[in-house]
Structure 1
Amino acid sequence: MTETLHIVGGGMAGSEAAWQAAEAGIPVVIHEMRPKVGTFAHQTGHLAEMVCSNSFRSDDDEANAVGLLHWEMRAANGLIIETADKHALPAGSALAVDRDPFAADVTARLKAHPLVTVDEGEITELPTDGHWIIATGPLTSGTLAESIRAETGTDSLAFFDAIAPIVYADSIDMDIAWMQSRYDKGETEAEQKAYLNCPLTRDEYEAFIDALLAADKTEFHEGETAGYFDGCLPIEVMAERGRETLRFGPMKPVGLTNPHQPDVKPYAVVQLRRDNALGTLFNIVGFQTKMKYGAQTDVLRIIPGLQNARFARLGGIHRNTFLNSPTLLDDQMRLKSRSNVRFAGQITGVEGYVESAAMGLLAGRLAVAEITGKPLPPPPNVTAMGALIHHITGGAYAKTFQPMNVNFGLFPEVDAKGGRRNRKARYKAYTDRAKAAWQRWLDEK
């Protein structure tokens, strides 16, 4: 008799994982606590309910990493993307959906599948046997979260993000910025140049503070805390405590010499730290923020060297339960300390509906391979899904790990006709390479 796959959570990831497994002939039980146990964000008992935006973002599969992810999901017969296409709304180049019919349709498709059972009950502890996928998302129930925390360690499960913006390295003006660690600390040259520095004069610093204080900001939603935790104080809150506060915090200029102007001491310095092993992404150190997204780009581009910055992710502070996946998960998305349990979706440290569904798709297929005794390697990191799974299971630095959307900064670099300055050609080269590799991976099953 074929073993059953149990999936905890019926969101984007859990629904997609269930579909992939059932279509491969594996019996599936989806354990979804709603509607019996609600959350402050969900309004219905539907599976795959969209609680925030109704957008799957760009559908351009030749110039955008999330569009490429759409393409890969379509090629893999993904339920989420197929249903999104069915319920698409006019949205230019984006894929927006009519959210209630979308969720109702996903629910109906899964409940009608002969190999899928939906159990409306809460799972409160990590299971010790059987095949399981935990796909409970950022609103994981308190009891299950405590069980995960007990298994993984008190510092391995974050309940709040303190997210600093992340910048594409090739959009930083190196005629202004320079690489140097404070006081040249580090045993190797690479360590001594681990940080990228953007200098500000006094006038530039004052203009930055004025813009920061005046910027539109978001407030915590119901169900979230209005307090702040050590180490995640928003920069605008620091600025409100005194105009010089940031100069003695994340923007302190000490221990640095600007090689472009070695005789001029910066009044303040914004530091960026490499965020991935490829060196294509840099996060702005200490710049967690509650500024609205539009305001963030305007304010951050005031910083010299970042005037043309492109952002892989903007900052924020909100509740978001997620694992320190680079430390805890293997390349099959299994918990290293309890290999019968996989994780999928936002709880693994990906951000967004599409990324969550994609990780559900992978977890479902990897679980099928294990159950049927046909080992399947993770997809190559030149694909969108491979780049994501590589990032969360080892490509990201564990000490600074934060949830991430898919973006080309996660991919190994590619040579493109026209060189680095021709972004369109470079992105097309990324997507062409990814599509070929993804199709080969699908054919391996």
Structure 2
Amino acid sequence: MESISSGRAFGGVSRVPSDVKWRVPPSADLQAILSSGTADESVVHSRVRRLLERMHREGRLNSATSATDIGVVMDEIFPLPGQLDQAAYERYLDPTDRTMVYHSVRDAYTTPNPADRADLATAMQDAAATAQTVSTDEPGLRAVFGPTEWSTAQAGYRLINNRLVAISADIEHRISTDYNLDAQETFLGGWASFGDQHIHLLSTVVSDPLTPRSKVTLLHEAAHLADSRIDDHGYYGTPGFEAAEEAIKVNNAAHYEELPRRTWGISSYVGQTFTPGLTSSGAPLTTEEQIRAGGVQYYRKAWDAASDFDSLIKDVRRNQLDGTPLDGATVARMLEVSPLMDLTLHEQMVSPPEVTRLDITTSESIVRAMSIAKRNVPNVPNVMPMGPFLSTADEIAAGVSLAVDAAMAAYGGLLGDAARDRRLVDWLHDHYRNVYP
């Protein structure tokens, strides 16, 4: 699974009683929506069909060999107006499989189990010690961060050491995790709040923290706590990572991974000196490489914003379960995004709209798609635009646009219309770090 880390600073997350739901909603949930008239039957059918299409595309449905036509599956699941056949539904969707079942909002944001805390503390202390050790490696610091910023990075590693040691001593209050597998579904390795000095981690990092890759995640998130300027400007191993400018590297959490990765034997750039504008081969980035790097960055921001919106509507769902009224700005933002993502909110007969389990699973699928499309960018063909162009920057911008469309087409599309797909990706990209009202 792709492990992606984010430095977003979310607000406090309320904890409420469990709210059972599926990655695709349970049959009883869908039947309740149909029976209550919350949304028109055609709306429910269209949203369910999209979810099934996306899951089938990844081979995530049971009886997949017989499910080559989702229309046939839909006819089996919804045999009569207003009715859902539970047995048919569960032939394709195993209710015992947690990758299909969304169990609990509470479990999506909770304290690590006591049984996991000792190893987690040890892993954090190990990562802290490594951060302290690499801070004394001046040749390594110069090789990765450059002759101008190496001493700033040195100070950064020492702060990372400090943060990891402090948090390892207070895991119960400073670490949260996701035993509900939301993060696994959306490829979110973790996030960190500088203001709260809090880290949220993928459950596999918490349950198996002593591996080098888990310690990389711990160190990455601690980098966000070390200095508010350390953000996510590009993830490890993406096109152009080694060619970033010094001012970017010293403020990018993923670049702080490199020297510890070399220590732990999992570096992709062993022994290399990172030179701004040059690839690992020592050659300047070609126009095509710059285009692909730009396409990856475009989707990175779209994925990040989609993750934020996914968090927003889950916050709203918690509040609705808790009886907390919604503020007008939040309702307006949800209604703005709903038609872009094909949620049900703008189609509902009630006001304010209810965040249904169908909306939550649809939102998750959008986040997932943005990450998968991002991974397609380096390999899609025909990203070089036709000229002439007034400048290289204009050519790169045109190429990035082609790469964004091609990567979504390679995914298979989201909404059944390429123009609508692009409007959604553009909205998300343009609202990077500006989703919450």
**Higher normalized contact order (CA 8 Å, seq sep 6+, divided by chain length):** 1
Above 0.5 in TM-score? no
TM-score by length of 1: 0.24
TM-score (norm 2): 0.24
- Structure in which a larger fraction of residues adopt strand: 1
